[in-house]
Amino acid sequence: MKNKHIETATAVLEREDGGLVVCRYKPEVNVDARAVADNLKARLSFPGKEPYAVIGIFPESVNFDMSLIQQDHYTDIALNEVTRILAIVAEGALFEPIARLYFAYYPTRFHSAVFQTEKEARAWVAKKMKALQLVD
């Protein structure tokens, strides 16, 4: 697949085989609404329009701006058409309650959950992808 790797100012996005996009935020970056919007836009530049799952990984060292939870980041119709599953990995104790608060304010149209480790997120995503028949 062409264009499997995209780097933005705040994250590295990879489209893995099997319909999974992993967005790894860089350590010590500022994560605000604009950073999230830039990374969501970058996701749309991957080739193909088939639905996929996403794992967003936020290292403990990122700096969170409260603008992150002041708007719904999933209002773009094209983004909602390709996103079927979203797992957020909140490394460290600070981001997990922020992520859960965000989903309480802005429920998604797709399956979403928050995890403390990438391993837990990958297991949940694999199970959901199989249930939704996004993989064989």
Q: Confidence band (pLDDT; 50, 70, 90) for 136?
A: low
**pLDDT tens by residue, 24-53:** 999 999 999 999 999 999 998 888 778 899
Tell me, what CATH number does 63's domain have? Answer: 3.30.750.24
For residue 79 the two structure tokens come to 């983004």
pLDDT at 111 over 80: yes
Q: How many CB atoms are located within 10 Å of the residue 119 CB?
A: 10
Instruction: Tell which residue, 96, 74, 91, 82, has the closest CA to residue 21.
Output: 82
Entry field: residues in the chain: 136
The verdict on residue 26 lying in a domain is yes
Domain residues for 42? 5-131
CA distance 106 to 130: 25
**Rounded distance, CA 112 to CA 104, Å?**
11
- CA dist., res. 91 & res. 84, Å (int): 23
122: pLDDT confidence band, cut at 50, 70 and 90?
Answer: very high
> So what's the pLDDT on residue 36?
93
* 136 within domain boundaries: no
User: How many structural domains compose the chain?
Assistant: 1
For residue 3, the model assigns a pLDDT of 58
* pLDDT tens per residue, range 60-88: 999 988 888 888 888 888 888 889 999 99
Chain segment 2-32, per-residue pLDDT in tens: 558 999 999 999 999 888 999 999 999 999 9
Per-residue model confidence as pLDDT tens digits over 124-133: 999 999 998 8
Q: Which residues neighbour 108 within 8 Å (Cβ) at sequence distance 6 or greater?
A: 74, 83, 86
